[in-house]
Amino acid sequence: MKQKPKSHEAVWGIAGMPDILPRNQAYWRQLLETGKAVSELHDFNFMGLSAVERYEIFENAFGSDRDVLERELFPLKAGKMKAALRFSFRESVLRSFIDNKLAYFAYPLKVFYFGPVFRDVQTDEYFLRQFHQFGFQVIGEADPIYDGEIIIALYDFFKSLRLANVVLKIGSSGCHTCHGIFKHKLQNYYRGRLKDVCKTCARNFEINPFLLLSCNEEKCKAIRLEGPIIFDYLCQSCNNHLKSVLELVEDNGIPYEPDPNMVSTGDLNNRTTFEFRTPEMPYPLAFGCRYDYLSEAVFKRQIPAVGANVGVERVMEAMKRQNVEPRFKSKPKVFFLVIGDQAKKGALKLMNKLRLSGVAVVEMVGKKTLKAQIKTAERMGIKLALLLGQKEVFDGTVILRDMTSGIQETILVDKLVEEVKKRLNNE
């Protein structure tokens, strides 16, 4: 027997590029509604960004992590121009900020956005080639208050979703000066211990010593405990910045853990680095950092910025594992049963009248028999149905059918909206 493909696999589609299916719509709607509500409360402006950017933007943005670019970016062609599918949002936000002169609109600019992100990775339960992010960015300010504001907004977001045991971890990547000094300290510490760490760490040491800070092998963790931590090497101003962020987080009653291993591997992120996790998930639900050097490296313009992204699919999975039911409940609906071709036209008019008055209407006019239509309505758990046949069209009436009791009554078309609303409100 052919095995059922796992959710991240595909038959005709591309593995790791799943569609959003109707059965998950309550989750998606709740996540989007919650994100929108939080953005509004914290005054972030919505931006829709192009999913395709010039290849060179990402080329510049990867800095010292070039191998990631070659492995994971989806290249494209736009006319004669080399382009790529969105790898992350922050480059697009900066590009749009500069191209559209958004500094005149607001400075700093606080934005939120939502959309798919594309990475050509080995797919499994947690990593997809196309996944969705919801994010906040503040462009144009280096003040720690904005790092704090983003953390607070994200915490509100997770709280509104009713996720339990959300853990916030905060670290720092320092600046070009102290990040560099710490790198030397790491190299010196590990150089004499390469035979004691795992093979991956020994190999990574040559590529990028910061990678050793995230190894999960027990022996590597033990060696790391004795090693240098960045908090001891931050320069005065990076230290002050971190202290201010932690104070803001504390003042707002958000529990957090300082994490000395949350140091960026690249040289374009700086200072605040943070993530939100829940115990059920092996990977973070959201990740954020400051990236004051990015704009200079990519666009030759110095623009400080900070931002964070929520992995929508991961949040949804965490909700499922915690049995958090999505709160998004659709409105009660009425089912419109239509008998015979002649009644269709009149039915559409009445459905529209109901919809304009705010009543959600389901129909299955097609070619289905009345029996099949009633069955569908029952399967959908619908409580109230309307019946329209040729006779009713002629008489200017509609039949109301209580789906639970099966009791029917005839009402005048003029009273339709009123009667339907009365019954829906009585439920």
Q: Give the footprint of Zn ion on this chain (CB under 5 A).
A: 174-175, 178, 197-198, 201, 215, 217, 220, 235, 238
178 versus 393: smaller Cβ distance to Zn ion: 178
Q: According to DSSP H, which parts of 302-409 are helical?
A: 312-321, 342-356, 370-379, 390-395
103 versus 202: smaller Cβ distance to Zn ion: 202
CB 278 within 8 A of CB 163: yes
3-state secondary structure of 80: coil
160 versus 244: smaller Cβ distance to Zn ion: 244
Q: According to DSSP H, which parts of 192-329 are helical?
A: 199-207, 218-226, 236-251, 294-299, 312-321
Amino acid making up residue 321: R
- Name the packing angle between helices 25-41 and 312-321 (round to 10°): 110
| Token duo for residue 17 | 């590029």
220 versus 334: smaller Cβ distance to Zn ion: 220
| Minimal distance, residue 227 CB to Zn ion, in Å | 12
CA distances from 67 to 62, 64, 72, 154, 367 (A): 9, 8, 9, 31, 57
Q: Which helix (H) or strand (E) holds 421?
A: helix 416-426
| Minimal distance, residue 242 CB to Zn ion, in Å | 10
7 versus 200: smaller Cβ distance to Zn ion: 200
Strands lying side by side in the sheet with 360-363: 360-363, 333-338, 384-388, 397-402, 408-412
| Minimal distance, residue 112 CB to Zn ion, in Å | 29
175 versus 377: smaller Cβ distance to Zn ion: 175
| Minimal distance, residue 176 CB to Zn ion, in Å | 8
| Minimal distance, residue 246 CB to Zn ion, in Å | 16
| Minimal distance, residue 324 CB to Zn ion, in Å | 35
All residues at 6 or more sequence positions from 305 whose CB lies less than 8 Å from its CB, including other chains: 90, 93, 94, 137, 138, 139, 140, 141, 290, 291, 292, 294, 295
CA dist., res. 16 & res. 118, Å (int): 10
223 versus 359: smaller Cβ distance to Zn ion: 223
| Minimal distance, residue 201 CB to Zn ion, in Å | 3
| Minimal distance, residue 216 CB to Zn ion, in Å | 8
CA dist., res. 147 & res. 245, Å (int): 7
CA dist., res. 220 & res. 214, Å (int): 9
161 versus 305: smaller Cβ distance to Zn ion: 305
CA dist., res. 396 & res. 401, Å (int): 17
Please identify which residue in the block is written with the tokens 């005054």: 43
| Minimal distance, residue 136 CB to Zn ion, in Å | 24
CA dist., res. 396 & res. 252, Å (int): 61
153 versus 175: smaller Cβ distance to Zn ion: 175
